[in-house]
Amino acid sequence: MSDVLVTNLIVAAGLNLVTQAIQIGAYAARVAGVTTGRIATAISLFSLVVTASRLANLVVTPALGGLADAPANAAEAAHQAVVAPYALHVFDTQMRIIVGAGTVGIVIGGLLMPAFILLFVRGVRAFERMGSIPGAMTRLLDPRVQLALIREVRMPSLSEARKLPFRAIPRKLIIGNTIIMMVYAIGVVAAYYASVLNLNARGTAIGLSGLVNGIGTIAFSLFVDPTSAYIVDQTVRGERPVADVHAMIVVLVVTAFVGTLLAQLILFPAAEYIAITTHLFVKH
């Protein structure tokens, strides 16, 4: 177990957990937009929060690189063409822990959804008063505001969730978000995994992470983002009840959770897919 739990793993898993929790919490921007009637401002805050969470990947990526370099360097030092089975098993376990940490982050983000909704609503209103996103964010960092938020926050109610109109949510949104989260959860991880499977093309494998993430990007652009935005627009125009937006948020959280669980099944096949593709670019 000591071979598995190294510093780089703890850093990568911890940051992936936080990143996923924040990205799930960013869904609350759509509810805040409907609540305040300020859709554009809410979406701007959404983009800001998601961008900030993705900056954590600047640290996750080097940590992943350190984990991948350890078995690869050991194999090269031993003049082996491939990584030893035990080292590969340890690395596989580490990659799955990182993906699993993202799943835990989604659960935490879902449980904190009422807090995120309140935070975004306060953020939108603070922006209206101050006319500045940095000013609004600074206001939210005020300890008095944070204490007020803590007092108002409550945990999600399962009984209330059961009453939501889930049948009003399009099936393509459910399927699309599940696929996206399944792919995004292992996109970069699979690329580093592939770099260990094919030691002769380590740099190429890491650069090919877009082959996996590209599938998720296309699905997001075609199915999830336009559909969720349309539901919010219909709600603002009074064509849908507000409960539909809350149902959509619950669906997005649940499908994200399911998607990251399914990601464990495709992690190794995705890594092999990338490793095989490297042969198109690297001649042996």
Encode pLDDT of 271-280 as tens digits: 998 888 887 7
pLDDT digits (tens, 9 = 90+) for 194-241: 999 988 888 888 888 776 677 777 777 777 878 888 888 888 888 888
CA distance 196 to 73: 10
Hey, which of 89-103, 124-138, 150-164, 233-247 has the most confident mean pLDDT? Answer: 89-103
**What was the pLDDT predicted at 2?**
60
Q: What number of other Cβ atoms are within 10 A of residue 72's Cβ?
A: 21
Task: Convert the pLDDT of each residue in 169-180 to its tens digit.
Answer: 888 889 889 988
- pLDDT tens string 255-264: 999 999 999 9
CB 7 within 8 A of CB 93: no
How much is the pLDDT for 98? 94
Angle at Cα 9 formed by Cα 110 and Cα 178, nearest 5°? 35
Please check whether residue 24 is in contact with residue 106, taking contact to mean a CB–CB distance below 8 angstroms: yes
Spatial CA neighbour of 156 closest among 246, 244, 242, 240: 246
- State the pLDDT confidence band at 284, using cuts at 50, 70 and 90: low
Any idea where the domains of the chain sit in the sequence? 7-280
Q: What is the mean pLDDT of the chain?
A: 83
pLDDT at residue number 133? 67
